[in-house]
Structure 1
Amino acid sequence: MHTEEEYLAAVKEIAELKGELSRARRNYEAVTDYMSRISHDIRTPMNSIIGLAKLGEEESSGRAVKEYFGKIRESAEYQLEILGDVLDMARIESGQFTLYPEAYSLETLAETLTSMTAPLAEQKGITFSAEFHDIFADTLVLDKLRLRQILMNLLSNAVKFTPEKGKVMLTVSQMAAGNGRVRTVFTVKDNGIGMSEEFTKNMFKPFTQERTAATAEIQGSGLGLSIVKNLVDLMGGDIRVKSQIGVGTEFIVEIDCEPASGGKANDKNADMSYVFSGKRALVVDDHSINRILEVKLLKRVGFETDSAANGYECLKKFIASEIGYYDVILMDVKMPVMDGLEAAGKIRALERTDSAKVKMIAMSANSYPEDMEKSKEAGMDIHIAKPVIPSVLYSELAGLLR
């Protein structure tokens, strides 16, 4: 039997543990909220810069002006890339990074990676190819967002550090891993400038970059490979590298995961013809330039549009409209007066036959899985990250309004 002193000591220890857990939870929520606000506050104006620069490129007639707009867009996209790397690294180091596994087709992965990498390679006069060998489980259960992030980081680096007329290759193969799991091996190989043996020993450390005459003009945050290594570790995988200066570099990523039942994941057909004549959209965004850009993108493909500056205005316009008037609402998440999530919840709760049927798209500078889950819980159909990529927006709209 325990003495009264031992019992009281145990009670005290449990109370202290509960206090520590409560403080840790509050700290986690505070850090998450801070990072979310920082991300939103920086991404929102950058979205406007990228969108306007893109329009300037497309609509200007002079070659020099087109080039100026192109440089503005590229610089803004680079700043967003750095921001994403810094935020990801902060989340990883604070232990707040969570994986969200789901069924994902390797065929779809290859199409996505090729569509993103091929134009980059073509701009530099580099040959890019993707090959599959011995694939017996096309659809796997894994975090598709993070897997794409790992491979796109390696592929973009390969293109970045490979000179004109060089080659970059992605190879995917599989083997049995035991216990019904599948080991998928992703190899990214180039014949670029290569890395020194000394650098490869430290390349996964944050902010590590090899500075040579060949890399002097190549930009980077020095966080990409560190994030890749951490993501591979979180997925229970392994990453190795072979490199030689002047010969090239080969990264090998191995990940074991469960095969998905039920065949391929349902992904949108990227080759659809986007025509939305007769459809009506309500664009809701507190940033006037973003509203203008989004309205213009929608009108290009046939939408009739209205706009609102916050969730409260959106709610009023929806209530005042005829039943079924709006086909889709594009809703910014963070807005004054009433934010997008609250407005979505109130629309879904209305006693109207169209309140549950109208499609709602969350538009947010924050695109972490927990942000997407909050949007879903509020009644949004999908969540699209800003800056808005027209092809992604049109594809998602086609899927919703098909």
Structure 2
Amino acid sequence: MKRRHKWAIVALVLLALAGLLGGGIYYIAHVQEALWTKAVTDILEVTAQGRHALDTYMEKDAETLHLLAADLSGEDPADGATLLKKVRLFSESGTSYICVVLDTGTVYTDRQQTGYVLSQEQLDTFLALAESGVRRPFLDGYTGVWTLGNYERFTFADGTVGLVQKTRPLAEVAQRFSLSFYDDTGFSYVVDREGDILIRSLHKNSNRTFQNLFDIVDLQGNESGAVETFRAALGNGKKGVARFQYQEQEYVFCYVPLESVPGWDVISIVPNQVIMEQAGEIIEQSQILLLLVAAGVLVLTAFFLFYRYSTRRIVAAKEEARRAAESASVAKSRFLSNMSHDIRTPMNAIIGMTKLAADQADQPDKVRQYLKNIDLSGRMLVGLINDILDMSRIESGKMVLSETDTSLEELLTGIVKMVQPMVTEKKQQFEVRLLQVQHETLCFDALRLNQVLINLLSNAVKFTPAGGAITVEVAEQPAVKEGCARLVFRVADTGIGMKADFREHLFDTFSREQDSRVDKIEGSGLGMAITKMIVDLMGGEITVQSQPDRGSTFTVELDMRLPGRQLPAEDPLPPMRVLLADDDAATRQSAAAFLRELGAAADIADSGQAAVEMAVAAHGRKADYDLIILDWKMAGLSGIEAVRGIRERIPAEVPVVIFSAYDWAQIEAEAVAAGANGFIQKPIFRSTLYHCLRQYVLRQEPSAPVGGDTADLSGRRILLAEDNAFNQEIAREILQEVGAQVETVDDGRACVERFAQMPAGYFDLILMDIHMPVMDGHEAARQIRRMRRADAVTIPIFAMTADAFAEDIEAAKAAGMNCHIAKPLDIPVMLREMQRYLPR
């Protein structure tokens, strides 16, 4: 019995050991596979990040090239000097730009002083290129260097087809974007769908012998099915991992398609042996542990428990780490994408308006308007940047409203001008309507409301196909709160709409509808969440109505406080008759009501043809209108066509004005040629019509733009400490324009020494930058305050710095400074503060 029991125990132990051994082998294999999978996932993620960096790099080149193409499209292709000049303006270190007139074969490049004619073979190369894209690497005939280039076709002013190309050395691209792995045993390559290697690492250890990936895998005895699967994955633009033999060694291929260049992929090739070496120590320790546990049942039990515990812990830790990494990566990418969207919108307006101002420098009125729009967009941009930098507010959800008396007319006009380029590009219909708006000046946070409306409008443009319609309505309703007016903003579009189940999550963070219609439309999923947060903070409400393929309507309702100050009364206008034509009933009624409030007798027409007939009939009665206002886009007879019809039978003494939500620059030449006297921008407020009547009927000059530099600092001496020459020049010019005498120094020590050299009372004020060499602004202010002289304590010292957070203001005060002026300078605020400290 004992013997039988003994053998039973032995059998049990052997069975336990066999189970232990089997479990141990399974455990080692599982850990090894998990470590391999984690390593390969990391390689694939790094490859995707490298792909994203290369995509961003190429997209930036494409954007620059598009700006050059847009700039050249308005030129005469025969004007070689101008083409060469514009090409050189875009020249930058390490790149080359060319412009090719495809009809003549003439090329202009920043490397030559004059244009020259391409050979037929060279011209055929450019003619074969599509509308835009990236060329395969080619040998530059001028430099003898392998080159990578972006290109874009465009049309000159006379209809001639041109092409611009931006190139940079292939070695520079490879140096910047090639990835290496595991002490340079693995590298990344850029290949096309046929497997040809286009960009390879320049590192000496990188394999430079093969030219095509399939030449590697086809000749090494790899399974044909696996090779064909890999080939199909590249051909279909898939992302994934494959393993192949090469020179009796197994390699891992991680491939990710480029988004900016269809048909190209980034591939990382790493020896599998190197990857597995990372797991060698863990595997060896597991084997030792297995041998020790095999010595006895107790160790076997302990190992079994350890195996269960460690396996679960490893899997849970891996899953938690994976989810955390994915969440952080998605949050960061979407946040940056949203901020890029918000920043690019005013930046696009700044760039566009700057070009318009340069092109029309001989027309001061227009230049002033362009500069005003640049200022509005710049202020919005500064506000956005401040929010991005102030991460504590974003992370904690804290945001403080800055409510001031603001012109609703200026806000909406600025928004319209910012949206115009996007609407024009997609050839969409754009209309802005006012419905019973009685208060033009209200107290609200202009930056936040601007952000809300720009977000809604940019989404409407983005999700509305070309030729669609976008409408903005602004209505005023009685407010429940005393001393307020309720403003209702509606942004409607005829776009793709939304499904009902998605509308419930529209305002959730990172929410984005999963739909093939929006897969290729950029978006972070943060925009609507931020919009909802701002509307809630302003005490308002936002709702949405939407149906798939029928468009969306967003409604924002806000109670805005009436202005705290009494607005100046308008000068009364003499009796006058006005004819207004618009095919939009709401606009007609609103504008006619405003005209009647101003004391004008208003006749309205619902079409261009009706306006012509009414104007001609009035002329026949010898009772001409004092002013005729025509909408540009009307069904049937357009506004410009109506102007021509009126001018054929009515003398030029009767002023005719065009109004539209579109840019005046698009129609100015045609409108003026037809006989129009001027233009007013929609939306049409009461003040818009008031100034229009004064300008075109009473022949009074339009009011000069309101500036903030009305201060008088004549005879005041100001010491400016600033190490940046451009900032010195800006501040000096501004102060000299208002009469101040300005002395400049380049650092804090020089400021202290100059102040000490001059007698007490010589300087009236010190403007002090904070970050300067030799001595910073804080220390300079402290040393001045410690001087034993009468004016050391009393002279006003202003901090003039880009450090704009609350703690920076407190630091300036602690150093003895009286005032903190943030850069970029708000000129009206700076001059107002100076006058407060330097009273007459």
Report if the CA contact (8 A) 1:101-1:143 is conserved: yes
Q: Which one of the candidate residues 157, 163, 179 is aligned to 2:459?
A: 157
Shift of 1:131: 2.1
Judged with a 3 Å threshold, the aligned counterparts in structure 2 of structure 1 residues 76 and 261 are, in CA distance, closer, same or farther, namely: closer
Aligned counterparts of 1:339 and 1:224: Cα–Cα separation in 2: 40
Judged with a 3 Å threshold, the aligned counterparts in structure 2 of structure 1 residues 66 and 91 are, in CA distance, closer, same or farther, namely: same
Q: How does 1:239-250 map to 2 (within 5 A)?
A: 239-250=542-553
Report if the CA contact (8 A) 1:85-1:224 is conserved: no
User: Match of 2:298?
Assistant: none
Aligned counterparts of 2:742 and 2:421: Cα–Cα separation in 1: 32
Q: Which one of the candidate residues 553, 559, 571 is aligned to 1:256?
A: 559
Q: How does 1:188-267 map to 2 (within 5 A)?
A: 188-263=491-566
336-345 vs 159-168, which moves further: 336-345
Report if the CA contact (8 A) 2:435-2:476 is conserved: yes
- Residues 198-244 of structure 1: CA deviation (Å, up to 9, x unaligned): 22211101111224444334333321111111111122211001123
Q: How does 1:105-124 map to 2 (within 5 A)?
A: 105-124=407-426
Report the AA paired with residue 537 of structure 2: L
Q: How does 1:228-307 map to 2 (within 5 A)?
A: 228-263=531-566, 291=724, 294=727
Aligned counterparts of 1:185 and 1:395: Cα–Cα separation in 2: 31
Shift of 1:182: 1.9
Q: Which one of the candidate residues 791, 800, 815 is aligned to 1:351?
A: 791
Report if the CA contact (8 A) 2:749-2:775 is conserved: yes
- Partner SS state of residue 518, structure 2: coil
Q: Which ranges in structure 1 are unaligned for 5 or more consecutive residues?
A: 1-48
Judged with a 3 Å threshold, the aligned counterparts in structure 2 of structure 1 residues 246 and 261 are, in CA distance, closer, same or farther, namely: same
Judged with a 3 Å threshold, the aligned counterparts in structure 2 of structure 1 residues 373 and 155 are, in CA distance, closer, same or farther, namely: farther
Report the AA paired with residue 791 of structure 2: E
Aligned counterparts of 1:153 and 1:91: Cα–Cα separation in 2: 20
User: Match of 2:802?
Assistant: 364
Q: How does 1:307-346 map to 2 (within 5 A)?
A: none
Aligned counterparts of 2:520 and 2:743: Cα–Cα separation in 1: 45
Judged with a 3 Å threshold, the aligned counterparts in structure 2 of structure 1 residues 86 and 361 are, in CA distance, closer, same or farther, namely: closer
The answer on 1:174 being equivalent to 2:436 is no
Report the AA paired with residue 190 of structure 1: D
Report if the CA contact (8 A) 1:185-1:252 is conserved: yes
- Partner SS state of residue 152, structure 1: helix
Report if the CA contact (8 A) 1:89-1:223 is conserved: no
Report the AA paired with residue 458 of structure 2: S
Report if the CA contact (8 A) 2:443-2:563 is conserved: yes
Judged with a 3 Å threshold, the aligned counterparts in structure 2 of structure 1 residues 201 and 320 are, in CA distance, closer, same or farther, namely: farther
Amino-acid identity (%)? 30
Report if the CA contact (8 A) 2:486-2:559 is conserved: yes
Aligned counterparts of 1:345 and 1:361: Cα–Cα separation in 2: 12
- Partner SS state of residue 178, structure 1: coil
The answer on 1:78 being equivalent to 2:340 is yes
Aligned counterparts of 1:333 and 1:167: Cα–Cα separation in 2: 50
The answer on 1:98 being equivalent to 2:400 is yes
Aligned counterparts of 1:212 and 1:64: Cα–Cα separation in 2: 44
Report if the CA contact (8 A) 1:315-1:347 is conserved: yes
Judged with a 3 Å threshold, the aligned counterparts in structure 2 of structure 1 residues 395 and 351 are, in CA distance, closer, same or farther, namely: closer
Aligned counterparts of 2:463 and 2:443: Cα–Cα separation in 1: 32
- Partner SS state of residue 163, structure 1: coil
Report if the CA contact (8 A) 1:175-1:183 is conserved: yes
Report if the CA contact (8 A) 1:347-1:355 is conserved: no
- Residues 148-190 of structure 1: CA deviation (Å, up to 9, x unaligned): 2211221222223233333333211111123423211011122
Shift of 1:128: 3.4
User: Match of 1:183?
Assistant: 486
**How does the TM-score come out when normalised to structure 1?**
0.57
Relative contact order (C-alpha < 8 Å, sep 6+): which is higher? 1
Q: CA RMSD in A?
A: 5.4
Aligned counterparts of 2:428 and 2:446: Cα–Cα separation in 1: 27
Report if the CA contact (8 A) 1:182-1:258 is conserved: yes
Aligned counterparts of 2:783 and 2:436: Cα–Cα separation in 1: 51
Report if the CA contact (8 A) 1:295-1:305 is conserved: no
Aligned counterparts of 2:431 and 2:756: Cα–Cα separation in 1: 52
Judged with a 3 Å threshold, the aligned counterparts in structure 2 of structure 1 residues 192 and 100 are, in CA distance, closer, same or farther, namely: same
98-107 vs 86-95, which moves further: 86-95
Shift of 1:83: 7.6
Report the AA paired with residue 78 of structure 1: S
- Partner SS state of residue 204, structure 1: coil
Report the AA paired with residue 216 of structure 1: D
Judged with a 3 Å threshold, the aligned counterparts in structure 2 of structure 1 residues 216 and 148 are, in CA distance, closer, same or farther, namely: same
Report if the CA contact (8 A) 1:310-1:335 is conserved: yes
251-260 vs 108-117, which moves further: 108-117
144-153 vs 300-309, which moves further: 300-309
The answer on 1:137 being equivalent to 2:439 is yes
Report the AA paired with residue 195 of structure 1: M
Report if the CA contact (8 A) 2:708-2:829 is conserved: no
Aligned counterparts of 2:801 and 2:464: Cα–Cα separation in 1: 36
